Amino acid sequence: MQARPRRILSVWLPRLAIDRWRLGNGLAPGEGADAAPLALIAETAHGPRIDAVNAAGLAAGARSGMMLADARALYPAIQVAPSDPPGDHAFLEKLAVWSLCWGPWSAMDAPDGLLIDMTAVAHLFSGEAELLADARARFAARGLAARFAIAPTAGAAWALSHYGPDGTILSPADDIAACLAELPVASLRLDDAVVAVLRRLGLKRIGDLTGRFGERHGRDALHRRFRARSAVANPLVRMDQLLGKVSEPLLPVVPASMPLVQRRLMEPIRHRELLDSVMADLADDMARELERLGQGARRLELGMWQVDGEVTVRNLELAAATRDAGHIVRLFAARLDDVDAGFGIECVRLRASWAEPLASAQADIEAAAEDSGTSLAALVDRLTVRLGPQAVRRPVLHPSHIPERAQRWQPPLEPEPPQQGELAFHARPLKMLDKAESIAVLYATPDGYPQRFRWRGQVHDVVRVEGPERIAPEWWREKGTARLRDYYRIEDAQGRRYWIYRLGILGDGRGGVPDWFLQGLCA
């Protein structure tokens, strides 16, 4: 049997970051993100740099990769928002899974594209043109600007979607080299440095490569220049991939199936007692399914289908992965009080939309019999369900050398921010004051150890001193006149230990006599 010719659909989302930001802020096309110049910025060592810009920003002169200061010199009123590359990548991954409706597999073309294998699928849409129209309509309905192209190879489809006419369909019988001859060499998916080298050599179009280097001697000359380069830096490899002479490996996106259990009821139920019974059965089924997969649920969705077609959904997020059926039932009990069964509920479904690995553990039988308390994660779950997610906070470490900035409070279900491990070796007091309190210190010299200090009306004699530990101000946050801090761990005559610091150094040009503060109490 003759194999069907391969057909690849390339989808390019040139405004992926801007469109995602607009959707996240609930703006329709033409509102906010399009009406006024907007730039998404990232912090760099040299200052804010533009990662993405909308159409109005492009018209104002801003460009991706430009420093924000240069863009504001062209248009001072440009609006800015922080960029989120990891969020954009996750969004693109979800789009790749969603786009499986047009083919058996799809691959991400990071940072802003998709490649979909639609071989032997077009007849389901009455032709490739109809499939392309369906894809265009679905992306537009989501509020995403996209360009499309269909070709026999991934390289040709990518080149046409990025540099060719939008919606181009290249049939298997067409000559790929001839159809793409007028496209720039940048359409070969090469590094910018390689594109610059080719342009200096006078090779500006794909036709220049196929015409001048199709014969053996010309190809060898180009091969000698780029033979040590990778695929993204070797124009010959990219040309062979574009023409289908060399296969190009693509990594398809495989959707992860979420654990799901359900009950289709023989008779619709309307009473809360029956719903609780069904909920208990679903929780037991979910616990067994999660145990089989070696996972624990972090987010659960309970859907209830009524006879008249109405669907009621209740969501639940957990502080830690669990597959404890009793814990799940207790948490959902508080979410089912306001459920209106209407004419009756005929189907109930429980799905774990977020699950994490959770290994099985052998508990100590005697210790379990004596332990009647509640775990911290279960306590957080109960308080969150009862009081709301915004009413419960937990302290998390924050990467800052300044002690009062080294901790923040956030909701318990949010992931912890990245931490700086190099700060772990610093000894910190057992109790930190909410705000450092001013103290009066006596010392032999302005830069010497403290000998006596007054705090809250009481005088303390210093018998032991450890330090100093110098902490410089955060230059990216503080003004240039901010002073250094020298921290000391001291002990008074009664054996009580304190953590104090001197703000500034005498003669540093940033103020007068240094001030002293007490910031913590040591064990």
Lowest average pLDDT, out of 284-293, 363-372, 462-471, goes to: 363-372
Phi and psi at residue 116, to the nearest 5°: -120, 125
Residue 425: pLDDT over 60: no
Q: Is the pLDDT of residue 362 over 80?
A: no
Are the C-beta atoms of residues 522 and 489 closer than 8 Å to each other? Answer: yes
Q: How much is the average pLDDT of 247-269?
A: 85
pLDDT at 409 over 50: yes
With bands split at pLDDT 50, 70 and 90, how would you rate the model's confidence at 476?
confident
> How does DSSP classify residue 192?
H
Residue 354: which of 404, 443, 290 has the closest Cα?
290
pLDDT value of residue 365: 46
Q: Region 234-263: what's the mean pLDDT? A: 84
Asked if residue 255 has a cis previous peptide bond (ω within 30° of 0), the answer is no
Q: What is the mean pLDDT of residues 227-256?
A: 79
pLDDT of residue 34: 63
Tokens 């010309």 -> residue: 218
pLDDT for residue 218: 56
- CA 234 – CA 159 distance, rounded (Å): 16
pTM across the whole model: 0.58
Q: pLDDT tens across 281-306, in order?
A: 999 999 999 998 888 999 999 999 99
Whether residue 137 is predicted with pLDDT greater than 80 in this model: the reply is yes
Weakest-pLDDT range from 32-41, 86-95, 362-371, 451-460: 362-371
d(CA 138, CA 121): 17
Lookup: tokens for 201: 């050599």
Closest by Cα among 150, 184, 189 to 166: 150
Decide: helix, strand or coil at residue 370: helix
The answer on pLDDT for 220 being more than 50 is yes
Q: Is 457 exposed, middle or buried (0-12, 13-18, 19+ CB in 10 A)?
A: exposed
Per-residue pLDDT tens over the stretch 266-278: 889 988 889 999 9
> What average pLDDT does this structure show over 55-60?
88
Residue 418: the pLDDT is: 60
**Mean pLDDT for the stretch of residues 142-148:** 92
Region class of 127: left (phi > 0), else alpha (psi between -120 and 50), else beta: left
Q: What is the mean pLDDT of the chain?
A: 84
Place of tokens 């179009």: 205
Read off the pLDDT of each residue in 454-481 and give the average, rounded to a whole number.
86
pLDDT at 361 over 70: no
pLDDT at 386 over 70: yes
Q: What is the pLDDT of residue 369?
A: 44
pLDDT of residue 233: 76
- In the structure, what pLDDT confidence band is assigned to residue 1 with cuts at 50, 70 and 90? very low
pLDDT at 153: 93
Q: How confident is the model at residue 468, as a pLDDT? A: 86
pLDDT beyond 50 at 366: no
Cβ neighbours of residue 362 closer than 8 Å, sequence gap 6 or more: none
SS3 of 15-59 = CHHHHHHHHHCCCCCCCCCCCCCEEEEEEECCEEEEEEECHHHHH
At residue 473, the pLDDT reads 85
pLDDT surpassing 80 at residue 212: no
Q: How far is CA 450 from CA 60, 130, 329, 484, in A?
A: 59, 82, 60, 17
Task: Give the Cα separation of 141 and 28 in Å (integer).
Answer: 11
Contacts of range 156-160, beta carbons closer than 8 Å, 24 or more positions apart: 156/8, 156/180, 156/242, 156/243, 156/244, 157/8, 157/9, 157/10, 157/115, 158/10, 158/12, 158/109, 158/113, 158/115, 158/187, 158/189, 159/183, 159/187, 159/188, 159/189, 159/206, 159/242, 160/10
Alpha-carbon distance 323 to 300, whole Å? 11
Euclidean distance between CA atoms 37 and 78, whole angstroms: 5
Give the residue-averaged pLDDT of 314-328.
89
